[in-house]
A and B are shown apart, each in its own frame.
Chain A
Amino acid sequence: MSDQQLLAILPHILLTTVILIQMMVIAFARNLRTTVAISVIALILTGLAFIPVYSLIPIMVTPLIVLDGYAIYYSGLILMSSTAVTLMAYDYFKDRGEKQDEFFMLLLFATLGALILVCSSHFASMILGLELLGVSIYTMISYPHKGLLTLEAALKYLILSGVSSTFILFGAALIYAVGGKLGFAELASVALETRDSGEIFLTAGSALIFAGIMFKLSVTPFHMWTPDVYEGAPAPVTAFVATVSKGAIFAITLRLFTSSNLIEVPSILTGLSVVAILSMLVGNLLALRQDNVKRILAYSSIAHLGYLMVAFIAAGMIGGKVLAIEASSYFLFAYFITTLGAFGVVTIVSLPNTEADAGDISNYEGLFWRRPMLAIMFTLTLLSLAGIPLTVGFIGKFYIFTAGVTTTLWLLLSVVIIGSGIGIFYYLRIIFAMTKRTETDVTKIEIPIAGGWVMASVTAAILFFGIYPTPIVNLINNLVLSIT
């Protein structure tokens, strides 16, 4: 490897080094504050290390890793989200007994996996990144000893994530059997040459990879695990699974299928459309009957991934690639900060009760009278999830809509509208619960310093980028569109 290539993976080397240092610190002097401080500094330094990389892009580092604007944009999203989750997790774990330090190490491991995932250009690094992300998340889900719900969540995630990884591996093997290539860029020529002769293997391989990825992204009909995992996992971990894990996997899927031309296989697009329609409908309809805020957010994330799939399908249509990538990048940004906000509130409300998370909607009754600021923040994030104008969620949905209109996906767009309409009902239900006056004795909610800052910045971002999205749009235009 040349000096330039080493410089290009400086962020990853830095993060790995800090993980090892952190491990030594934990082994010799266990202190939660120090561990968290190391984590936050590591994440910020890794983010800063992308600045010298910017002058080198695009650059291949061995056939496995490619650093381009797309990778830098998604790495930024991941690092932002991981930092927020670290701060939330500090509040969450600091009063829950000793030996919570390893959690923050695992969080860094998972972040490293996600970073590798978004810049991988080869099946080998993609699968290793997926596994690094997955293995860390299994332990993070079952980290606190909270009985059966946590155990159920961890076990469901372990088995389904393992099975879906096998699907992806098998799909990659079938695609390899056609052309003998594993790099994404090399696959493009294979896909073109063997369009007639090897189509069955290519289609079957792509379908298997998609099935695996759908499991990880939890879109219908592969969504069964989501509500249970969201409910059982500690709230900060849920935030992590919902943002970093899904975002990184979506980013690599988009890269894999746009750079290798596999997305243009027609039968894949038909299958994806069915999946998108189903997850928008099922996600929104099942959320209606839930009384648990974490489960509502789980179904809402299924629906959101459905909206994202519309952009993905648009990327496979003629002339839709550029706009679709732009749309999904913005939508993911909006989804990241909104989801972080929502689970930030769940974390803060869960703090007084160390036995179980505040899932039930009754925990939120009267929040407007007890903690008006927190309630206002939660209202804003919910409105953003619903896609109400002046929030960042609206711009995201608007982008998806534009991408759909440009590629004339009328059926999918009508389902987006129906889904959003149903969505407003259950988001408003939580807001109404918060305005209800309660006479009963309720536990006092303290807003912690770290979590308070996260919530304040997330809310500010939701409003600011909802009114003035230009900075992010410019950023996406400069960085992300370089892969097209």
Chain B
Amino acid sequence: MSVELFLFYLAATVSLVSTILALTRYNATHALIYLIISLLASAIIFYLVGAPFAAVLEVVIYAGAIMVLFVFVVMILNLGARGDDLEHQWLKPGMWLFPGLLCLILFLEMIYVLSGSSQNLAGTVVTPKEVGIKLYGPYVLAVEIASMLLLAGLIGAYHLGRRYLVDSRKES
């Protein structure tokens, strides 16, 4: 087995383990931490198969933006002194050991890959420029359809969210 293949399987294992842990945690915050690790692991896999742009997007958009938003929402929902206690309870030092270990594996892998001593599995590298040319060339309609999809989702979220607020005000 070549080094690259070993790195791929290692990242895939991290991804699987963290996803399973994310699904089985009772605590939403802990689950989210594992979910972030799972996304980081997929980013490493993307990098290994020669798609650095997808890897960056995975980190910036999923792990960076969306998941941080999730974590904030979960934490903001528990306001007050009780929330502080809970947060104190959640953030026990021991809690960080295993996610930290998984992250460390990914970090070492990343350093090894970036040091340039290895090749990627696919043999070719898809640069951001190529992705851009594809997206605004043959796939331009897909971009348009995706924008409509987002608008539909936005309107749906707006409608459902609005109703929830109105109802809870009535009850109180």
Contact = CB atoms under 8 A, between A and B. Distances in A.
Interface of B: 138-142, 144-146, 148-149, 151-153, 155-156, 158-160, 162-163, 167
Interface residues of A, number: 32
A62 B138 contact: yes
A109 B141 contact: no
Nearest to A154: B160
- Interface majority SS on B: helix, strand, loop or mixed? helix
A99 B140 CA distance: 34
Most A Cβ at <10 Å: residue of B149, B158, B162: B149
B141 A112 contact: no
B148 A139 contact: no
Given A128-B145, A128-B149, A139-B156, A62 B167 contact: no
A403 to B, nearest CB: 33
Contacts, number: 67
Interface string A7-19: 0010000001001
A132 B148 contact: yes
B28 to A, nearest CB: 18
B155 A16 contact: no
A65 B145 CA distance: 11
A152 interface: no
Contacts of B162: 99
A143 interface: yes
Nearest to B164: A145
A355 B163 CA distance: 16
Given A23-B151, A64-B142, A128-B145, 14 more contacts: A16-B144, A16-B148, A19-B148, A63-B138, A109-B151, A109-B155, A112-B148, A116-B145, A124-B142, A135-B152, A135-B156, A139-B156, A139-B160, A143-B159
Best-buried of B144, B151, B159 by chain A (most CB within 10 Å):
B159
Contacts of B148: 16, 19, 109, 112, 132
Contact of B159 (A61, A112, A139): A139
Nearest to B145: A128
A116 B140 CA distance: 14
18 contacts: A61-B141, A62-B139, A64-B138, A64-B139, A106-B152, A110-B152, A113-B149, A113-B152, A116-B145, A125-B142, A128-B145, A129-B145, A131-B149, A132-B145, A135-B156, A139-B152, A142-B160, A145-B167
A179 B149 CA distance: 29
B19 to A, nearest CB: 13
Given A128-B149, A132-B149, A105 B142 contact: no
Nearest to B137: A62
A138 interface: yes
